[in-house]
Structure 1
Amino acid sequence: MGAGRSYVRWLVLRETLVLVSAGIVLGVPITLLGRHMIESMLYGLHASDLIDLLASVALLFGVAILAGFLPAQRASRVDPMVALRYE
């Protein structure tokens, strides 16, 4: 009820980042374990290339932050009384 806009934004972004982090924590080891299969499908790209792996993780985090920030911005503008009446 009394949360400020920045706190509401942080709540939504934190949930987004937790989900993305969990996906990365699970996905990177799976990628490294299945790198032989990935290397056979992708020409000139090695699954164990650190730069490619870091770039994909950074891109994923960037897209997740943008995808989480837009709904968070919208949620922070909602009047609490309107939200309570809706429920």
Structure 2
Amino acid sequence: MPSPSPLLHRNTAHERLLLGLSSGLGSLAVLLAGVGRYGTLAYAVRRRTREIGIRLAFGAHRHAVLSMILSDALKLVALGIGVGVPIAVAGGYSLRAFLFGVAPVDPAALAAACAVLALAALLAACIPARRAAAVDPLVALRRE
């Protein structure tokens, strides 16, 4: 009789393949969302360069500009989570007939997904926010 380890390994090969594919595609989706979010934030900061320059010229601290850009980014994440979590919960309950041995809603998985999404958005917002905080008011006002 073979030992349980190779037998278990062989019997779970399909599940491990699906796990690897799902993890890879999920990671790719988060990466694409982060790159897209970075692009939209970089564009928004570029369009608001004059406004940011005026704020800095009137005495706004660079920390306030950094906070403004980061809070704008996180507001959209909060909106996405506020819309996405109820849809995920409803989807889980509507698919419960197809789930065997799995709860329709896993609060830990939802919390982890929300945390990963918020972290990806925060990382995507860091570069545009730092660029906005580093704007020279004179250059920003002369440019337009």
Task: Name the Cα RMSD after superposition.
Answer: 2.4
Task: Extract structure 1 runs of 4+ deviating beyond 2 A.
Answer: 36-40, 42-47
Deviations 1:23-78 (A, max 9, x none): 100110011111134995x9986551011100000111111111111110111111
Greater percentage in helix: 2
Residue 25 (1) aligns with residue 82 (2): yes
The reply on whether 1:83 has 2:140 as its aligned counterpart is: yes
Question: Distance between the aligned counterparts of 1:55 and 1:39, measured in 2?
Answer: 24
Between the two proteins, what is the percent identity of the paired residues?
Answer: 43
Between the aligned partners of 1:63 and 1:75, the Cα distance in structure 2 is 19
Map 1:48-59 onto structure 2 (within 5 A).
48-59=105-116
3-state DSSP of counterpart to 1:34: helix
* CA distance, structure 2, for counterparts of residue 80 and residue 66 of structure 1: 25
C-alpha distance in 1, partners of 2:74/2:88? 20
Which stretches in structure 2 are left out of the alignment for 5+ residues? 1-56
CA contact (8 A) 1:47 1:53 kept: no
Aligned match of 2:128: 71
TM-score (norm 1): 0.84
TM-score, scaled relative to structure 2: 0.53
Compared CA separation, residues 37 and 3, structure 1 to 2 (3 A):
same
Residues 1:13 and 2:77 aligned together: no
Flag the 1:86–1:50 CA change in 2: closer, same or farther, 3 A.
same
The 2-side partners of 1:43 and 1:67 are apart by 37
Q: Distance in 2 between matches of 1:39 and 1:71?
A: 45
